[in-house]
Structure 1
């Protein structure tokens, strides 16, 4: 159902980047792994308004995708099926109130383990008086969906302050990435333009563990040029930093041209390289050395399965791509100079487990030790997916909500009847429960 709600459909436009991806996949013997992506974008007549094409007229109007490449930085054309076009749109239409620009800073359980509900306080996140007191609510139950970083930081702060002392000691543990790295390949050819298309249009698997996608930003989105460093492999005796400096010195003009700030987005193909090989680390909060008055979310080493700072299959693919377009390949500067990984998909921290000693939430996403509190975002993801996780997160959230009994008769969309999903999100509903014991 998540795919239906988000309007997922195959990307219909094969761009020059995709042709290059297919050709390089064939070059390494993996042409069969090439495919165009499924994306949550409306591909109607380009730039033309259209009546709601997904929900039998009950949803908002859309505009046909203009292939401007600005999906990552916020579609301003009403073509991307973001949450305000589906889940949030219908929630508000059917009576929910949305309080934007507020961040939850306090959750106070009422009664043992929240058995009588919760008192929630927020602070404003915008304006000249940012940080001032916001709103206060009382709720019978809570859904935490602030994203992996937001949910983990909130719960870690509440546990440290004694508001939610019964949270599992596993909180923040087993956070992970998609074992990924980012590369950029900038063409030095005159007139190169790779900015047309949706953000991610295709993918290949250069080996059994590695998943690689071309990523684009729209014209003028050139600030990421500040993150690049000459492509340099890791894993050798000579320190990577030394070899990077040698690479920069060996071809100074090429690398200066690579850093030219104007035109970077349209002349560059970004490669998102992900692996299914698992990794983990621990999220915690601490006071930064130079800003001791605040506490921030930080990462600590978990097991020996560390997030990678380079992937051989990715660097090899980047070099092959650079040769084909007459360009220069680059890694992210923090990976090369500080051995610090970068990620576009941070997941976990609120792991599943049968007891509080083994996990933060149960198989229905309920927070252990507290009544009617559930987690519905990337913090719940229990393993490295090796792919973009948005659809999986939405599906997990729908499953979790299917166990929550509705307060009033459910109003179904006519599209749900057409899809055959009517009643899907209430079929598992069970009565509210008392908080579970804090230890097994």
Structure 2
């Protein structure tokens, strides 16, 4: 696999990282290793870790993935050992891909969770979300939650993307063709650009994408820290309490891990500050059991000790590569795998993402370890009602449409830069990977037909036979990120899944899902297909979809 000279290997193997010591305060006359253990270091876990540490609690954070630095993040998506998460294959990268029976889940792994590979885009939901009939009667949620959204905005450095890229020009023109040109707007993102409009100096981001918060080049705006792309400045967000940052170079590498220090990942804010406040992060640590200690023990005798026993194993040990045995205050399970450690805490916060949290809780409930977990676990599991589509082209066809001097390179900019809204429930964004990050091309294919009388695979085969040149080009990874505009289509319709574990057959015990409350979770979104076809005309290319649609996900 290609390695970059700018990406040296970490000093210690990610499969056997040296674990931090448990805080010395725990060694005093205290039966607990931590006051609170947080399982997961993504957005929910990071916020919990910081705020609990600020209150004086001893906090431990357990993360199944490895700890990356800017230098050790993948140079491209082809660096599979650092990009793709597949522990069974020895891959401990930042990109998780989970398949349920009817949905494909893309998530993050590593210290910082999904912030390592998400596309920086940070919207406040529109009013209709807060007023939904399922909860709108309880209180005025928009007013109630506004201070917390404002605080998250400040912490994550949300501001408008300042750059109109070629992808944005094509998105705007595609929107005009679709009759929705007035909905085009630049996206609110969590990135340090160094143009004086970052941090508290940023304009208010639009809640619904329709309001204009002002130009980022407004000379009347307060002056913030300025830096040329790639230049470093002292912490621009937290009055010097945070790390130094580099201004964005708009390389499009946000979803393979920002190696420049411009993306506002959790290691640049919440987790960084949590560690400064005393939180201890344990990377490459997989939680296998959470057991509740009840007063007086299992026999119900009088007693005061309550809390939780959290059993962990080194993530690498799950593929038979165990490490040396370690014990926390509660000791290792007598018959557990090599390297198992059990930690004791007064409280536990499970923040392992939607997939990780539900997998753990379902397993603990079904095995009787946490019998008090609600029978409603798994109900009303929400997705983004999302489709990944797009359009690809080649230099010759692009230049025949846009002139011989037109440059075909859609990698410039941050991962997502703008949005359009075909209707009140549908939101479309252009997505990009950086130059050379072409591995995810394996998930793209020709647009899947939706209204054929034939089974979907046969209808797809027919399209491939009718358009063999397009099919061949769809298989090519060469310069894929430069010649594709990915369309991320999301909807806010009321639908859900109900997750559960398979109780028999192949994959027994693995998390799966069935349709839940509301409208069916969409496999095909008509607005997405229309957008992809219109965009293909704009680029003089061909419309595409993702292989998940062939599998019904």
TM-score class, shorter-chain normalisation, is 0.7 to 0.9
User: RMSD in angstroms over aligned alpha carbons?
Assistant: 2.1
Partner-residue secondary structure (3-state), 1:43 = coil
Q: Which position in structure 1 is the counterpart of 2:437? A: 221
State the alpha-carbon separation in 1 of the partners of residues 476 and 452 from structure 2. Answer: 30
Per-residue deviation, 1:132: 4.1
Q: Aligned pair in 2 of structure 1 residues 90, 272: CA closer, same or farther (>3 Å)?
A: same
Determine if the alignment matches structure 1 residue 327 to structure 2 residue 541: yes
Q: Aligned partners of 2:179, 2:533: CA distance in 1, in Å? A: 16
Equivalent pair of 1:255/1:328 in contact (CA under 8 Å): no
Find the counterpart in structure 2 of residue 122 from structure 1.
Answer: 312
Q: Give the secondary structure class of the aligned counterpart of 1:317.
A: helix
Q: Which residue of 2 aligns with 1:109?
A: 292
Q: Which moved more, 1:281-290 or 1:217-226?
A: 281-290
| CA spacing shift, 1:205–1:134, aligned 2, 3 Å | same
- Separation in 2 of the partners of 1:55 and 1:119? 36
In structure 1, the residue matched to 2:169 is 19
Q: 1:251, CA displacement in angstroms? A: 1.3
| Contact kept? 1:179, 1:278, Cα under 8 Å | no
Distance in 2 (alpha carbons) for counterparts of 1:66 and 1:2: 24
- C-alpha deviation, 1:39, in angstroms: 0.8
Instruction: Report the CA distance shift for 1:289/1:226 in structure 2 as closer, same or farther (over 3 A).
Output: farther
* 2:369 counterpart of 1:163: yes
Indicate the residue corresponding to 1:39 in structure 2. Answer: 189
Cα displacement string for residues 284-323 of structure 1 (whole angstroms, at most 9, x for unaligned residues):
223784566xx32222333463221211111111111111
Given the alignment, which residue of 298, 304, 307 partners 2:521?
Answer: 307
Q: Give TM-score scaled by structure 2 length.
A: 0.58
Question: What pairs with 1:255-274 in structure 2 (closer than 5 Å)?
Answer: 255-274=471-490
Q: 1:168 to 1:12 in 2, by over 3 A?
A: same
Distance change >3 Å, CA 288–CA 42, structure 1 → 2: farther
Deviation at 1:224, TM superposition (A): 2.0
Distance 1:8 1:290 in 2: 44
Q: Distance in 2 between matches of 1:38 and 1:146?
A: 25
**2:342 equivalent in structure 1:** 136
d(CA) in 1 for partners of 2:161, 2:479: 25
- Of 96, 99, 114, the match for 2:279: 96
Given the alignment, which residue of 128, 149, 154 partners 1:4?
A: 154
Question: Under a length normalisation based on structure 1, what TM-score does the superposition of the two structures give?
Answer: 0.72
Q: Is the 8 A contact 2:180 2:421 kept in 1?
A: yes
Native 8 Å contact 1:198 1:216 kept in 2: yes
CA contact (8 A) 2:446 2:470 kept: no
Q: For 2:345 and 2:516, locate their aligned partners in 1 and report how far apart those are by CA, in whole Å.
A: 35
The structure 2 residue matched to 1:285, chosen from 501, 517, 541, is: 501
Deviation larger for 242-251 or 78-87: 242-251
Cα drift, residue 253 of structure 1: 1.1
Please state whether the residue corresponding to 1:133 is helix, strand or coil. Answer: coil
1:103-122 Cα shifts (integer Å, max 9, x gaps): 22111111159971111111
**2: distance between equivalents of 1:73 and 1:323?**
29
Q: Corresponding residue for 1:346? A: none
Q: Note closer, same or farther for the CA distance 1:198–1:331 as it changes in structure 2 (3 Å cut).
A: same
Q: Does residue 317 of structure 1 match 2:531?
A: yes
Distance 2:453 2:382 in 1: 28
Stretches of structure 1 lacking an aligned partner (at least 5 in a row): 342-440
Q: CA deviation at 1:133?
A: 3.1
CA shift for structure 1 position 67: 0.9
Contact 2:178 2:534 in 1 (8 A): no
